């Protein structure tokens, strides 16, 4: 199973975006989805697959934190 992970774009350099996942920051490919600093995105296999509204993203991030605390 592959999961898309929510995060916030904190920098963009061409087609590479730096995404903050709260626990870590990673560079991902942002081709095909126009993103800018401050956007919330879903990332799968190191690629942005979708932009999210702030409300949806914060809800998804909170759910991720809950899941991680169960396995922590």
**SS3 string of 4-62?**
CEEEEEEEEECCEEEEECCCCEEEEECCCCCCCCCCEEEEECCEEEEEECHHHHHHHHH
The residue whose two tokens read 């914060």 is 58
Is 1's pLDDT higher than 60? Answer: no
| Segment among 7-16, 20-29, 39-48, 62-71 with least mean pLDDT | 62-71
pLDDT higher than 80, residue 3: no
Distance CA 47, CA 44 (A): 5
Q: 27-31, 53-57, 68-72: lowest mean pLDDT where?
A: 68-72
**Domains with residue ranges and CATH for the chain:** 5-71 (2.30.30.140)
pLDDT band at residue 23 under the 50/70/90 scheme:
confident
Q: Tell me the whole-structure pTM to 2 decimals.
A: 0.86
Whether residue 25 contacts residue 61, with contact meaning beta carbons closer than 8 Å, is answered with: no
């Amino acid at each position: 199973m592959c999961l898309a992970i929510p995060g916030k774009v904190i920098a963009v350099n061409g087609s590479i975006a730096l995404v903050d996942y709260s626990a870590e920051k990673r560079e991902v490919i942002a081709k095909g989805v126009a993103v800018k600093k401050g956007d919330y995105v879903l990332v799968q296999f190191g690629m942005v697959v979708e932009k999210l509204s702030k409300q949806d993203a914060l809800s998804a991030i909170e759910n991720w934190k809950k899941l991680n605390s169960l396995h922590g």
